[in-house]
Amino acid sequence: MNPVSPRTLLVRGMLAGLLAGAVAFLVAYLLGEAKVDAAIAIEEAGQAAASAHEHAADAAAAHSHGEEAPVSRALQATAGLGTGVLLYGVALGGIAALVYCYALGRIGRFGPRATAALVTTGLFVTVTLVPFFKYPANPPAVGDPDTAARRTALYLLMIALSALLAAGALILGRRLAPKLGNWNASVVAGLGFVLLVGISYAVLPGINEVPADFPAALIWEFRLASLAIQTALWTTFGLAFGFLAERALVPSAAPKEALQPAS
């Protein structure tokens, strides 16, 4: 393989992340926005009912939506959502490319595409699946605004713990490989990762702020849509970055010149 600077892979990772963000935006618009609209409708209905119960219609109007929102819901669901998801994809693509630079040649004799697949899968499990199963995404109207900072901190803490445990599992697997073999070492390291993640789940506090009257089906549909968005993002990135990385790392075959026999 050609020696390639990390900058080259970083740029290609960000380009792959941009493409992945575009695909994720399409999935989010098709699967997620309807769930968000439904949750917002439930939230607004609850606010209207509470305002009517207080017998202060004028004050309630000023309290809930007395001023028109500076950004319309239609703009939020299109340009706002698209901008956010694209920036998110580019950022994750750059981070994943840096991880790829470190992992290339250090996790086994894998080619550029196989390494990209392994790195992408590992990051998907670490930064998406593990935090999701402890602190799944919730639609609007679910969650106390006063605890938003605490919930965000716990979610980020879960991501950090997952990343540290994954790095520890990787180191453990490499150290055990000479004694146990690659397969057995990988199994032991993976089981250790799962065990420690389970302990983290048990130690960290849970969050249950779902209103009793909120439709359970809507919550799970929203969570499944969120997971589908992340799956589309990481899958697209892994395929695109694997292709771009291979183009950069593996030299293309030189064209063969046809040799004409001497007459």
The answer to whether residue 258 sits within a structural domain is no
- What per-residue confidence (pLDDT) applies to 3? 65
Tell me: do 52 and 78 sit in the same domain. Answer: yes
Q: How far is it, in rounded angstroms, from Cα 236 to Cα 229?
A: 11
Asked if residue 196 is part of any domain, the answer here is yes
Domain match, 42 and 127 both: yes
Same domain for 167 and 117: no
Q: Identify whether 65 is part of a domain.
A: no
Domains: count for the chain: 2
Residues 45 and 113 in one domain: yes
For residues 134 and 232, membership in a common domain is answered with: yes
Whether residues 204 and 152 share a domain: the answer is: yes
- Whether residue 25 is contained in a domain is answered as yes
Q: Is residue 257 a part of any domain in this protein?
A: no
Q: In whole angstroms, what is the distance from residue 93 CA to residue 21 CA?
A: 9
According to the model, what pLDDT value does residue 255 have? 45
Q: Please indicate, yes or no, whether residues 20 and 137 belong to a single structural domain of this protein.
A: yes
Residue 260 lies in a domain: no
- Are 229 and 241 within one domain? yes
205 and 83 in a common domain: no
Closest among 241, 243, 250, 193 to 95, alpha carbons compared: 241
Residues 81, 125 share a domain: yes
- Cα separation, 30 vs 262, whole angstroms: 65
Assess if residue 67 is contained within a domain. Answer: no
Alpha-carbon span 38 to 76, nearest angstrom = 15
> Is 164:196 a contact under the CB 8 Å cutoff?
no
The tally of CA atoms less than 13 A away on the side-chain side of residue 126 is 22
Same domain assignment for residues 2 and 108: yes
**pLDDT < 70 positions in the chain:** 1-3, 37, 40, 42-78, 141, 143, 251-263
Q: Which of 124, 118, 156 is nearest to 245 (CA)?
A: 118
Shared-domain flag, residues 232 and 113: yes
What is the span of the domain harbouring residue 183?
143-209
108 within domain boundaries: yes
Nearest to 17 by CA among 98, 112, 110: 98
